[in-house]
């Protein structure tokens, strides 16, 4: 398939715009407008570079795409948004050419539109409810809500039109937010708006949580995350980095010794899952957490200025079928691999990764090996002491799909006797994450489930402890940025209500 350049897509949009501009469109007319493709960089070149792959709509593309929206009175798309963005309203502003009003409408409920427009699985959320998609019987033909959100957020930033919400009058109340990921930043913004003093404690040296250490630069530029954090600073939110709650200070110390009136826990799910097979401790077998953190946070690809050494590998196998697996596989090429395999025990139809991310991986040369799973890693046979203990291959077993499991996906069934060896010199295990047990182990009375996730009240995010709320992946398990933000909004509303009851100091 031909890779269409930004110029080609812009020209197509100009022709469409010329045919619809100034006309009164019926719902049928709007549905007949083709969804605008997202411009992206050339696959061959981008696979070796860290620059952002998706380039964003042109202004004309955004105007054309916005015209596809029916402005439904019952706003079904809003039901699919975890933070309740007023979607038809912001798209209506784009239709009128008022991009500032559009982004301001989004920011009434979501202060991170540039991030959400890039990484949220809109096709499984707001776009899955879109009336246009239902008319055309394909969610892939729904109004591209996420791309429009990204466009107006980028327009605001690139044109220096960013405005920061003004907090309410100071209340004298203090709130500690543990973790600076999407849930923590959302809580910090909403609580600060109410006039309370907010301090965010981050264990790493940079703010942003999974948006910084997990999601690669080519999918979410770190400059964008840094600007969103800076906007919170302008609102008066304070940040303390290299502060590990549970070690530097406990939760009880924050409440009792430091005098915080409330605490929100948004520490994420940072404990990687493993395959638990022979040879998994060989050199060159990484968890996706370590592999991506070394690349994203420590810039392993910068061989001269990196904060960590680069593990040289030419044949890399990635195990998993989610977004993290796609990130790791695509990162491997950018770290110098010549061949990258993505190994998944189901088929492409069952992969939980976003369709766009899978397609980008295919375009960049990742080879997918479906209906296969590893049984053991094989060490390099060598007398060289420097190379002993390195991975040299992986034994794979073939599978077929059986009956659906509890989630509704068809279960993989092993085919005995189909074992075969794939030569590799590095492997990345991307099977998801579990909750880090540190918070539960250092905090008496904090109830968690058998997986280590903090148990909360569904409507308020309140934990088993007084003055303590939690949300995001530490509650949900590994989920998405926007779901974490949705939990953050619920928690912030509950905290603000609680603090209002206490009155000002």
Q: What pLDDT is attached to residue 480? A: 83
Q: Which domain holds residue 52?
A: 6-158
Identify the domain boundary among 158, 189, 204.
158
Residues 179 and 246 reside in one and the same domain: yes
Residues 221 and 330 reside in one and the same domain: no
**Residue partners of 441: CB distance under 8 A and separation at least 6:** 246
Condensed to tens digits (0 to 9), the pLDDT of residues 261-308 reads 999 999 988 889 999 999 999 999 999 999 998 888 777 777 677 677
Share of residues in the chain with pLDDT > 90 (%): 83
Tokens of 482: 């926007």
Q: What pLDDT is attached to residue 362? A: 96
Mean pLDDT of 197-224: 93
Condensed to tens digits (0 to 9), the pLDDT of residues 355-391 reads 999 999 999 999 999 999 999 999 999 989 888 999 9
Residues 323 and 352 reside in one and the same domain: yes
Identify whether the C-beta of residue 204 lies closer than 8 Å to the C-beta of residue 297.
Answer: yes
Number of domains the chain is built from: 3
Return the higher-pLDDT residue of 416 and 439: 416
Task: Name which of 22-26, 46-50, 181-185, 435-439 the model is least confident about.
Answer: 435-439
Task: Name which of 169-173, 386-390, 426-430 the model is least confident about.
Answer: 386-390
Long-range CB pairs of 397-404 (<8 Å, 24+ gap) are 397/372, 397/373, 398/371, 398/372, 399/345, 399/346, 399/371, 399/372, 399/373, 400/371, 401/346, 401/347, 401/350, 401/371
Q: What is the mean pLDDT of the chain?
A: 93
Residues 453 and 307 reside in one and the same domain: no
Residues 302 and 256 reside in one and the same domain: no
pTM higher than the cut 0.95:
no
Q: What pLDDT is attached to residue 420? A: 97
DSSP element (H, E) containing 131: helix 131-135
The answer to the question of residue 214 being in a domain is: yes
Q: What pLDDT is attached to residue 416? A: 96
Residues 303 and 342 reside in one and the same domain: yes
**Strand 315-319 and strand 285-287: pairing?**
unpaired
Residues 47 and 123 reside in one and the same domain: yes
Mean pLDDT of 218-239: 95
Q: What pLDDT is attached to residue 1? A: 60
Mean pLDDT of 107-129: 93
Condensed to tens digits (0 to 9), the pLDDT of residues 330-341 reads 999 999 999 999
pLDDT-based confidence at 404, cuts 50/70/90?
confident
Residues 152 and 11 reside in one and the same domain: yes
Inform me whether the pLDDT recorded for 249 exceeds 70. Answer: yes
Identify the CATH number of the domain in which residue 252 sits.
Answer: 3.50.50.60
Residues 424 and 447 reside in one and the same domain: no
Identify the CATH number of the domain in which residue 141 sits.
Answer: 1.10.1060.10
Q: What pLDDT is attached to residue 451? A: 87
The answer to the question of residue 327 being in a domain is: yes
Identify the domain boundary among 134, 158, 182.
158
């Amino acid at each position: 398939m031909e890779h269409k350049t930004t110029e080609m897509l812009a020209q197509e949009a100009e022709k469409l715009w010329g045919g619809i501009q100034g006309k009164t469109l019926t719902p049928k007319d709007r549905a007949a407008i083709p969804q605008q493709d997202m411009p992206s960089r050339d696959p061959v070149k981008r696979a070796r570079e860290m620059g952002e792959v998706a380039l964003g709509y042109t202004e004309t593309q955004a105007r054309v795409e916005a015209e596809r929206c029916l402005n439904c009175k019952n706003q079904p798309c809003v039901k699919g948004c975890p933070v309740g963005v007023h979607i038809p309203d912001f798209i209506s502003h784009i239709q009128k050419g008022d991009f500032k009003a559009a982004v301001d409408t989004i920011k009434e409920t979501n202060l991170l539109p540039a991030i959400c427009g890039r990484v949220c699985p809109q096709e499984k959320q707001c776009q899955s409810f879109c009336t246009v998609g239902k008319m055309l019987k394909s969610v892939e033909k729904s109004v591209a809500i996420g791309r429009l959100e990204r466009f107006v957020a980028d327009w605001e930033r690139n044109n220096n039109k960013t405005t920061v919400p003004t907090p309410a009058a100071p209340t004298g109340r203090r709130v500690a937010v543990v973790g600076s990921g999407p849930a923590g930043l959302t809580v910090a913004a909403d609580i600060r708006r109410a006039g309370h003093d907010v301090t965010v404690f981050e264990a790493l040296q940079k703010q942003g949580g999974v948006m910084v250490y997990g999601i690669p630069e080519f999918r979410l530029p770190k400059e964008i995350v840094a600007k969103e954090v800076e906007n919170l600073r302008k609102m008066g939110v304070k940040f303390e980095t290299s502060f590990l709650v549970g070690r530097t200070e406990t939760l009880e110390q924050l409440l009792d010794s430091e005098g915080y009136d409330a605490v929100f826990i948004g520490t994420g799910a940072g404990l990687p899952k493993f395959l638990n097979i022979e040879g998994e401790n060989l050199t060159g077998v990484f968890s996706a957490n370590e592999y991506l953190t070394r690349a994203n946070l420590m810039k392993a690809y910068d061989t001269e200025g990196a904060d960590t050494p680069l593990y040289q590998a030419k044949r890399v196998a990635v195990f998993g079928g989610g977004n993290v697996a796609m990130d790791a596989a695509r990162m491997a090429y950018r770290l110098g691999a010549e061949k990258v395999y993505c190994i998944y025990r189901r088929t492409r139809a069952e992969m939980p990764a976003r369709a766009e991310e899978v397609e980008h991986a295919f375009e960049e040369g990742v080879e997918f090996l479906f209906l296969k799973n590893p049984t053991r890693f094989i060490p390099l046979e060598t007398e060289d002491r420097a190379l002993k203990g390195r991975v040299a291959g992986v034994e794979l077993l073939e599978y077929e799909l059986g009956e659906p499991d509890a989630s509704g996906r068809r279960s993989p069934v092993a085919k005995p006797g189909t074992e075969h060896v794939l030569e590799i010199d590095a492997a990345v295990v991307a099977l998801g994450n579990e909750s880090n047990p540190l918070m539960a182990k250092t905090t008496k009375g904090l109830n968690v489930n058998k997986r280590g996730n903090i148990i909360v009240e569904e409507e308020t995010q309140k934990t088993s402890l007084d003055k303590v709320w939690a949300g995001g992946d530490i509650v949900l398990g590994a989920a998405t940025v926007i779901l974490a933000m949705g939990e953050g909004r619920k928690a912030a509303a509950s905290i603000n209500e609680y603090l209002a009851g206490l009155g000002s100091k």
